[in-house]
Amino acid sequence: MKKNTVSMLVLGLLLAGGFSAKAQTEEERRIITKDYDQAALTKFINEQTEKTKKNRDEAYRLAALNGWPTKFVTEEGNHAELVGLQDDGKPLYYQTLNANAAFTSGITSLNTGGSLGLTVDGQGMLAAIWDQDRPRATHNTFSGTIGQRLSIQDAATVQATHSTHVFGTIIGNGNTGSNGNPNASAKGMAPLATGNAYDWNSDTVEMGLAASSGLLVSNHSYGAIAGQVSVGTFGAYTSQSQEYDNVAFLAKNYLIVQAAGNDRNDNGQVYNPTKGGYDLINNAKTAKNSLIVAAVVGLTSEYSEPSDVLMSSFSSYGPTDDKRVKPDIAAKGVSVISSIDDNNSSYGAESGTSMASPVVAGGALLLQQHYHNVNGAYMRSATLRGLICHTADEAGDWDGPDARFGWGLFDAKKAAQAITNNGTTSIIEERSLSQGASYSFDVTAIAGQQLQVSICWTDPAGNVSSSADSTVPRLKNDLDVEVTKGGTSYLPWKLATTNGSPSVKGDNDVDNIERIDIPNASGTYTITIDHEGSLTSGPQEYSLIVTNATEALGADDFKFNLFAVWPNPANSEVNINLVQDSSAPATVAFYDIQGREVLVRELSQSLSVINTNNLSAGVYMVKVTQGAKQQVKKVVVNK
């Protein structure tokens, strides 16, 4: 891989006017969507519009005949609304399902004043929610320097606490009004971002339209009423999950974040009773390309071990019928403080996966912002989804994923560090695999650390389940990753065939994220990505993530290497060694991620020590110039 070329490109972006202070401008959205098949998206939107209207009209016709309510409040206090019919003809009702929340998932580390020194607060970023009715857009938590930061996008007129609370968790700033101090415990994940709010009617149509215009992240804290779901629908791949996967596949940078549901221990009601508390994920939440979020209790101190993460009493367990890992990730969803709609300064605590999902959505938005700050571009949704699962903190009773916590506790700090360290101690690449092709390369593990290798891809929509508990894989394109060293082969995690049993390692033919963990790694390993069977819809794009390793140098890497720099990451100083010609005069310049030159030094000898005490923590491009030769490398400075 041509690391030197990549570094020069990044520096070129920096020096040619810097990174935009306003991400997701019209030009940014054009770039986000430039590779989208807009004709296919338009076709999907038109077909979905007709399908949704027909389905909803039929549901309301049957409601009038059968006396079904169209809106009501459940015994648990959830607001429910008839939105259509399920695949089996039953009514489909959608129901509503943060300082400590941000701390639990490491998000405060990215925010202004955080330990990473990044000042990533959602500046210029746009989030969207689909939810019950509409949030209280005039709430002080949505205020900004140029007015309210929240825009209502459809015809909903009724204000709701649920949507107000959810969006406050994503973009709220905790403002209590002109005479009040901010409520720090109610500050959202991305307090400087803007937001678009939609009600949950015609969600897939509106999602397609928003994605076609460059939306990167949306939150969906609602789902079907479990008591209205047939036993065979739990864990099944439905037409709703197929529709969500279609949107994601057609808009490859768009990540859909969904709440897992609150159907376990539901006021003594047991759903899908023969599954021992498992197999409760249903309808759109079984989508392959969405990020499904479980709810856990918030941490009171820094994460140190899996037992720190306590499952909530209500969060729905998976897996899907074909044994995919669902939910994908966990976040705080118990007693989350955020805005409510009583008045413009009111805040309250709520619990549910509805509260956990916006924590992840807000954190995902910040990771996109940080990636853009470092690289001048946004991630594919597969990269973002894979990164979140790759860097999760272990939770549960055994190593690897499970059907309760997914891949573990969301850790935005570790994900941001992987982005920052890309090219040094981590590798993040967006690639494509053609029919019959494979890709291999070597990495050198950081001795004693856990080498982790993941691939993730946005899979074409699968076939709707035709029978209850069908184990037929819904995966269309079966990519594989394998790590080898000598005669030893390391394979990815997959769920056991029996619910509640430890995960195993082997050939995974159901998940569109595969992760390999190698504890106490040392030496050189070979990573190989290939596929089984035929690839549908042409070459399959995928994202590769490796942490605690450096790419092993090949012959091309030695053809041009002007200087070496270490340690990386650095603390108070870095060493720069001129490796080709130490006699010719040379200079070194450091540039921050805005492209500003922040440090310049003459290099008068082959080995120079550069003091970095006056540099803030962050990512820097280091350019060494010696005569007509120049080379750029990335250095991370920690404090």
Q: Establish whether the linkage from the previous residue to 569 is cis, with ω within 30° of 0.
A: yes
217-220 vs 79-85, strand pairing mode: unpaired
Tell me the mean pLDDT in the region 307-311: 97
For the ranges 6-15, 78-87, 268-277, the one whose mean pLDDT is highest: 78-87
Is CATH 2.60.40.3080 the right assignment for the domain spanning 3-18+560-637? yes
**pTM to 2 decimals?**
0.87
Structure tokens, 600: 């310049």
* Per-residue pLDDT reduced to its tens digit, 193-241: 999 999 999 999 999 999 999 999 999 999 999 989 999 999 999 999 9
Average pLDDT across the chain, whole number: 90
Contacts of residue 313, Cβ cutoff 8 Å, sequence gap at least 6: 264, 265
Res 555 pLDDT > 50: no
Nearest CA to 14 out of 634, 629, 614 is that of 634
* pLDDT recorded at residue 21: 32
Domain boundaries, given as residue ranges, for the chain: 3-18+560-637, 35-420, 426-551
Res 523 pLDDT > 80: yes
Pairwise CA distance, residues 69 & 48, whole Å: 25
Beta-carbon neighbour count of residue 259 at 10 Å?
31
* Per-residue pLDDT reduced to its tens digit, 106-137: 999 999 999 988 889 999 999 999 999 999 99
* pLDDT recorded at residue 57: 96
pLDDT above 70 covers a percentage of the chain that reads: 93
DSSP string, 98-155: -HHHHHHTTGGGTSTT-TT----S-TT-EEEEEESSB--TT-GGG--TTS--EEE-SS
* pLDDT recorded at residue 580: 67
Res 543 pLDDT > 50: yes
pLDDT-derived band of residue 289, with 50, 70 and 90 as boundaries? very high
Pairwise CA distance, residues 626 & 603, whole Å: 9
pLDDT-derived band of residue 570, with 50, 70 and 90 as boundaries? confident
* Per-residue pLDDT reduced to its tens digit, 72-92: 988 878 899 999 999 999 999
pLDDT-derived band of residue 637, with 50, 70 and 90 as boundaries? confident
* pLDDT recorded at residue 148: 82
Structure tokens, 11: 């520096």
Greatest Cα-to-Cα distance within the chain, rounded to the nearest angstrom: 91
* Cross-strand pairs, 631: 624
Res 2 pLDDT > 70: no
* pLDDT recorded at residue 38: 95
CA angle, 174 then 177 then 180, to 5°: 85
Is CATH 2.60.120.380 the right assignment for the domain spanning 426-551? yes
pLDDT-derived band of residue 621, with 50, 70 and 90 as boundaries? confident
In 3-state terms the chain splits into helix, strand, coil percentages (rounded to 5) of 25, 30, 45
3 state SS of 173:
coil
Classify domain 35-420 by CATH architecture: 3-Layer(aba) Sandwich (3.40)
Nearest CA to 287 out of 474, 141, 120 is that of 474
Tell me the mean pLDDT in the region 459-483: 96
Tell me the mean pLDDT in the region 10-16: 36
Tell me the mean pLDDT in the region 360-388: 96
Res 353 pLDDT > 80: yes
71-73 vs 79-85, strand pairing mode: antiparallel
Q: Establish whether the linkage from the previous residue to 567 is cis, with ω within 30° of 0.
A: yes
Residue 594 and residue 631 in contact, taking contact as beta carbons nearer than 8 Å: no
* Per-residue pLDDT reduced to its tens digit, 36-67: 999 999 999 999 999 999 999 999 999 999 99
* Cross-strand pairs, 575: 566, 609
- The amino acid present at 247, given as its one-letter code, is V
Dihedral pair phi/psi, residue 186, rounded to 5°: -105, 5
Res 338 pLDDT > 90: yes
* pLDDT recorded at residue 595: 74
* Per-residue pLDDT reduced to its tens digit, 403-436: 999 999 999 999 999 999 998 899 999 999 999 9
pLDDT-derived band of residue 618, with 50, 70 and 90 as boundaries? confident
Pairwise CA distance, residues 225 & 92, whole Å: 8
Tell me the mean pLDDT in the region 146-172: 92
pLDDT above 90 covers a percentage of the chain that reads: 74
Residue 295 and residue 331 in contact, taking contact as beta carbons nearer than 8 Å: yes
Res 550 pLDDT > 70: yes
Beta-carbon neighbour count of residue 528 at 10 Å?
14
Res 593 pLDDT > 60: yes
pLDDT-derived band of residue 13, with 50, 70 and 90 as boundaries? very low
pLDDT-derived band of residue 449, with 50, 70 and 90 as boundaries? very high
Pairwise CA distance, residues 94 & 344, whole Å: 27
Tokens 């065939």, residue located: 497
* pLDDT recorded at residue 532: 96
pLDDT-derived band of residue 293, with 50, 70 and 90 as boundaries? very high
Pairwise CA distance, residues 553 & 442, whole Å: 8
* pLDDT recorded at residue 559: 52
Pairwise CA distance, residues 393 & 306, whole Å: 7
Res 478 pLDDT > 90: yes
> Would you give the end-to-end CA distance of the chain in angstroms?
30
Residue 86 and residue 224 in contact, taking contact as beta carbons nearer than 8 Å: yes
